[in-house]
Each structure stands twice: as C-alpha cells, then as structure tokens.
Structure 1
C-alpha cells in the first residue's frame, strides 16, 4: 500500500525536518511556504539532513536523492493540500496567523484530511473553534528537531474527534515517531511543562547564587541527562530504590516535600539573572558560532540515535 500523501505548510527548520521525516518513511510530501525562497531552502535542507542521516546509518538503506525526490514544492497552499490525508502546519507562533492558515486549510483540504499544527505554545482551541471541520484539527507538537527526536505530543481541542487522534497517532508511529496522546489540552502541553519546571528551578538556583549557569548545565548534561536518555522520571525512581517506586517515595518523599514548599515564588527570568546566564553562554559560545553548534548538536544526536537503534532489541 502506498503511503498517504502528506502536506507540509511552512518551510522553516521544523517544516523541513518534518518533510524529511515523512519522506524518509516513504510518504510523498508536498511542501509550501508563503516565501518561495524559504521553500527552496527547505528542499535543500531535506537533502542535507538526509546526507547526514546516511552518514550516521539512519537512512534505512536509502540514498539522500531518493528521500529528497519524494518532496515536491507547491506554488500555493491549495495545490499543496489538495491530495493530502495529513497536513502538518508550521507557520509562526501567532494566533491570528494560525487562525487564518487553519481557515484556509479547512476550506482547501480533503474532508477527511487530518489538520495538525506543530505549535509549541498555542492551544488548539485558540485557532480552530470556528472551523466547520474543527473535529479533524489538533496539535502534533514535535521536540526539536523532529528529524531526530521521536516524541511527539498529540493534543486535542475540546471538539477534536477520536478518529483524528487515532489517525494522527498512527501516522506518527508509522514514520518512527513516539506519539504521546494527551487526554485534553493544557498550557505548555507535557514537554514544555516538564522542561519549564526544570528551567524555573535552574533560574532560581542562579538567581539565589547557589550555582553558576555552567554548573547547572554540567549537572543536567553530565548527571541527569545520561540516565534520562534511557528512562523517564518514574522509571528512574523505580530503579533507584531496592523496593521500587513506593520505596523511593518513602525514602525521599520528605525531602521533596520540603523543597516543594520552598518553591512558591517565581524566579526572575530577566534582569540580572538573565544577564548572568547570557554572559556565561556567550563566553562559552559566541553568537556567531550558534549555527555551527546547532549542527554539531544534531550530529551528536544522530550518533546517539544510531547507538540506541543498534542496542534496542528488535521485537
């Protein structure tokens, strides 16, 4: 069976990564951006990602040219979506822009096409409420970059139908993503709420002079992250006490309750705290070198994912 046609709307970093992910899995992908030069750059980016993935052994025997050939550019939004059964939107994080784009998608897409947004911060209800086809609208929020990080949050609006949720989750699983099906929408979804809790405490520790930004990064990168790359927080504590998760809570619950009782004020995300963090980061990485560092991060992620693939038992 030929994989379903996919439309990708918005050709930035996330859009090009999605286009690669769908194309690698064999889907024909149509890509559109309101700026033609952005769409052209995204097509080149798909080839670049595929070339790096091939070098890391993550292209499943395909060539970069074969993957890139599955991605075609559309002259307009209507042409892009006319045959698609899944539409992945990646325009700017602006609710008015999302409303306008989703109104156009709802009018132009096939009646049974799933309309998914990659938004990180906007609730699906905020830009789909008035649409005739709102039951097929949802958020499919990736973790950047989705070409490498498999988790994707599937977030319904109050009116999203179960069929749309099922089909989106199946599509994502089919391209190698790990769908996280949320029961309802909530600000920040899951990943940003967890990341935000950690960032809040990291900011607080810097603001209170307990640790430097470098110390915080060392603690996560060289302390918690290696373990977290293998197991989630509940699995981690289950493995960290002889009697499992209940034993862990009995041992360390009092400590966490004391900590939690003192985490009642929001840290300053700006002002002197941000100045210290920015100064530390710019000393470690000049702003001009940020693109090179992003590429280095992605290539190290590729090596890590290739390792996990080799080490994961095949079912």
Structure 2
C-alpha cells in the first residue's frame, strides 16, 4: 500500500505541522478539528508557517503545498478514504480513547493510525478501538515540519507489518523515524529529555546556578554538539580511544553523580514558581507567542544550514 492520502485529526500546532509534512511531500491531506474556530484559522496559520519556510529556502511553492490541504467539517469525512491518519488531539487518556473509538470505526481496514502521543502508550487508549491492530504511537517533536524525528511505538496488538512500512513511508516524507521496540512511559525522546530536565530543576533548587545560566550551559555547550550528533557518538569522539576509553575514564564520575540523585524529588509548587518568576522576568507571558515564532525561525535557519552540510 502506498502512502498517498493522509488525514490529520486535531489542527493545533502539532496537527498543523503534520499537515505541512504530508502536503510538502505531495500528499493530499484532509484536516479536521472538533473546534470550529480552530478549523476556521488553520489554513491561515499553515500559510504563515509555509511563508516563513519559503523565506529560509525550505519550500518553494507555498500555495501549491497549502492547496493540497483541505479543512473538512467532520471526522468521518477526514479519515474514511485515508491511507494514513495522524491523530493529534489533546494529550489525555480519556480524550484519546474517545477519538480512537471514532477513528477506528470510520477508517478503511487497511488504513494506519498514528497518535502524536508524547508519553502515553497506545495500549492505554486503543484497547477497545475498532481495528485496534492498525493503531500505534507516532510521536513527533514539536514542530514536526521543522524537527524531523518521529518515534514509532507499537502496542502489543499493533500489526507488526506496519512498522517497516511506516518507517519507510516516514523516511520518504523527509522525517527521521526510530522504532521503540516495546512500550515504555515517555518513550525514548522524553526519557532522555526528562533526565536533563530533572537535573536542571535539581541544580536550580540547590542554588547552584540561575535558570538562565543552566539554559546557557545547554544552548552554548551541550546543545551545539547535540544538534548534529547523539550522546554515544559525542563521547566516542571525546576520548582518544573512543567510547570504551571514555567510559573507563569518566564512568565512575557519572555513576557518582547518578548516586547523588537516588531519591529524586517532584518539582514542587514553590520551585516551579521560582523558575517561572525568573522566566517571566526575562520573557513576559504576552511575548511567548512571538518568542515561539522566533524559535521556529531559528530552527528553519538551522535546518537550512544542515541541508547544505554533509551528513558524514
């Protein structure tokens, strides 16, 4: 089965990003959201994103891409003829259970449904869905049209034939899929991100550095390397004898650090308020949307740069 027609259910930031991913690859896309207000503004927002991408040389014909996206007024109309459905509704088990029941009842027998769940495994919300063997988690990084990683996470009842097909299809769309071999809370990306976040909160709570300086450590240190290589390749290149040499040299240090965090604390309300106070002093809440657009433009510039560089 070729990946030709796509449907996106949920037209927020993530769903709209997925619509761009599919449409720029030449697919016909039907986009649905339960909110009439969101439906009404979806294409205008998509065109703004595409215009920014065009300014960075990431797409060419904005109107041709936008023209492949049709906003429709019902879920059934969106999914009934789709080869592939990307569900991107609110991340709550009951919401995803309800939408999975609707989607499962409306799709073709051979369609595939991916959920943009960022941490909830699909077994938590697809058990009772019609055609449940056609469902799995397909978790993007926000925004998916700029950050290409996609986590493919099957449930115990997902048809195993879907994974190789979908991995190849996602690569054909310009995404970078990985397969998570079995369900685990948070999958791969958010477990890695969570380890860094938990340490960042703990360092701030201990008064060891400001939130701004912790951010600088990542943005101007770790993040520069991590923007084009992962943790294992990073340490493989950071010792003369490679990864095993690095592990022997610094493994005891990292084990000692891990032992220091053997009883992690939840992020307390007081701690959250202190970090939020520092962040709002640096960036008022009213400026969050504009800063998000700035982030996206920086991502566009980085993606444009990387396209001109050799991968190896």
What's the TM-score, normalizing by structure 1? 0.96
Secondary structure in 1 aligned to 2:120?
Answer: coil
1:72 aligned onto 2:70: yes
List alignment gaps of at least 5 residues for structure 2: none
For residues 274-313 of structure 1, the aligned pairs below 5 Å read: 274-312=272-310
Decide which of 193, 196, 213 is 1:195's aligned counterpart. Answer: 193
1:262-306: CA deviation from partner (whole Å, max 9, x where unpaired):
111223412332122111101110110000000001001100000
For residues 157-236 of structure 1, the aligned pairs below 5 Å read: 157-236=155-234
Cα drift, residue 8 of structure 1: 0.3
Shift in alpha-carbon separation, 1:96–1:272, aligned structure 2, 3 A: closer
Q: What residue in structure 2 maps to residue 254 of structure 1?
A: 252
Secondary structure in 2 aligned to 1:267?
Answer: coil
1:46 aligned onto 2:79: no
Q: What residue in structure 1 maps to residue 26 of structure 2?
A: 26
Q: CA RMSD in A?
A: 1.5
List alignment gaps of at least 5 residues for structure 1: none
After TM superposition, the structure 1 stretch with the greater mean CA deviation from structure 2, 292-301 or 30-39, is 30-39
How many residues are paired up?
312
For residues 41-120 of structure 1, the aligned pairs below 5 Å read: 41-59=41-59, 62-120=60-118
Cα drift, residue 32 of structure 1: 0.6
Poorly superposed stretches of 4+, deviation over 3 Å: none
Cα drift, residue 171 of structure 1: 2.2
Q: Do 2:10 and 2:33's aligned partners in 1 also have CA atoms closer than 8 Å?
A: yes
Q: Do 2:11 and 2:39's aligned partners in 1 also have CA atoms closer than 8 Å?
A: yes
Q: What residue in structure 2 maps to residue 149 of structure 1?
A: 147
Cα drift, residue 42 of structure 1: 1.5
Q: Do 2:3 and 2:83's aligned partners in 1 also have CA atoms closer than 8 Å?
A: no
Q: Do 2:3 and 2:169's aligned partners in 1 also have CA atoms closer than 8 Å?
A: no
